[in-house]
Amino acid sequence: MNDTLNNSSLADNAVNIFKQPLQGGDGSVVTILAIESSCDETSASVCRDGIILSNSIATQSVHEKYGGVVPELASRAHLQNIVPVVDEAITTAGCSLDDINAFAFTQAPGLIGSLLVGAQFAKSMALAMDKPLIAVHHMRAHVLANLIPTDKPAFPFLCLTVSGGHTQIVLCESPLQMKVIGETIDDAAGEAFDKSAKLLGLPYPGGPLIDQYGTNGNPNRFAFPEPQIPGYNFSFSGLKTSILYFLKNAGTSTVFKESFTATAEERQLFIDENMADICASIQGRIVSILMNKLKKAAKETGIKNICIAGGVSANKGLRTALQETGANLGWKTYIPAFEYCTDNAAMIAITAYYKYLNQDFVSLHTVPSARAAW
Ligand code: KG4
Ligand code: ZN
């Protein structure tokens, strides 16, 4: 991984491929049915010529009481949801299985049992309908969620992809050419949100709750440390530890002490009385860690088309910070609609569409992978 990138010529030579008509090679209509099942959302989407016609999502509430996703329960819920979700996606799109030119699925990364459900379903349909099969990388699809709206970023662009399992800065040169130039060396940004929320006694997934409770809080009230990590890489494990000590000391210190200063009752009282400011301060620090690395990458690559993606891009603080920083630094900023930030099949469908144009098909023997290489 380079510490710095001097790639300003990329930005100077930016080519907007969207000036060309987006059609199948012979000008025909391309309709794709895509399935996403990598974690705890079962989703199906139909996309025609790069336009999303439907995006059905079934969320799995079964995990809430366990404080995290339980893989076996997720697989079972996918099995229950997949038929109605695919049916709804096709019906909403106003088409039938006969109209589908290719079937796509999330191949990796994710929970292997969950991935298997979507993969097998897509394969079965491809086999039955005698149509091509397209395998999609979940993290690449998060990046390409930015190509769903009509106002798309020109290439090259940078994308800060922030989800429950990943935190990456991706340099995207075309729909199928992208590379990770920075990533987390420990926890992901979404994990930092979720683990902080758990320390505050909030249910899983805690990210949206920290966002919600922190809305009217003061982000400068409590100062959590910012790690000094080289290059464009991130670290969030130190922040998590400092929040743990901060709560154990009822706000008096973010460092470990031989005997913590507060009793369990005092800690709880401190949390109850200061929830808004604690959440705003945690969110403020996570956002500043993300934005500082994004600013460094934008400056050193010379790229001013900047996107965010992934579940954490639904965060109000991050969305506002991106827009404000963009306005100050002359960036063109892009943020997917809320429904395309968290896991969804529309992003799989749009990625599959570009793969279709490139005739990038896979065989029925292709297997999903929990940790596929980028
Ligand atoms: O991309 P995603 O839906 O699933 C993965 O691929 O991981 O991301 C889920 C993550 C969770 O950690 C969740 O807490 C976080 O996104 N998240 C948020 C918000 N909405 C979702 N974090 C902070 N603020 C939000 N509004
Ligand atoms: Zn995701």
Q: 285-329 pLDDT, tens per residue?
A: 999 999 999 999 999 999 999 999 999 999 999 999 999 999 999
**pLDDT > 60? residue 19:** no
pLDDT the model gives residue 255: 86
**pLDDT > 50? residue 18:** no
Strand order in the sheet with 102-108: 51-59, 41-48, 31-36, 102-108, 133-137
Q: 51-76 pLDDT, tens per residue?
A: 999 999 998 888 877 878 899 999 99
Q: Is the dihedral of CA 75, 78, 79, 80 positive or negative?
A: positive
Q: Which residues of 127-142 are buried (b: 16+ CB within 10 A; e: fewer)?
A: eeeebbbbbbbbbbbb
Reading the block at residue 128, the tokens are 């039955």
pLDDT the model gives residue 260: 78
At CA 132, angle to CA 130 and CA 134, rounded to 5? 145
Residue 164 CA: nearest ligand 1 atom is 7
**pLDDT > 90? residue 14:** no
Q: Provide residues with CB under 6 Å of ligand 1.
A: 39, 163-165, 190, 193-194, 205, 207-208, 211, 310-312, 314-315, 342-343
pLDDT the model gives residue 113: 97
278-288: average pLDDT: 98
pLDDT the model gives residue 48: 97
Determine if the pTM surpasses 0.75.
yes
Q: Distance, CA 313 to ligand 1 centroid (Å)?
A: 8
**pLDDT > 70? residue 16:** no
What is the DSSP code string of 51-63?
EEEEEEEEE-GGG
In this structure, of 6-15, 26-35, 119-128, 291-300, the range with the lowest mean pLDDT score is 6-15
Residue 110 CA: nearest ligand 1 atom is 6
pLDDT the model gives residue 23: 44
Give the number of C-alpha atoms closer than 13 A to the C-alpha of residue 142, restricted to the C-beta side. Answer: 30
**pLDDT > 50? residue 277:** yes
pLDDT the model gives residue 25: 52
Residue nearest to atom 22 of ligand 1 (CA): 207
**pLDDT > 50? residue 110:** yes
Residue 317 CA: nearest ligand 1 atom is 24
User: Which of 286, 290, 308, 312 maximizes ligand 1 atoms within 8 Å of its Cβ, making it the mutation to test the pocket?
Assistant: 312
Whether the Cβ atoms of residue 300 and residue 5 lie closer than 8 Å to each other? yes
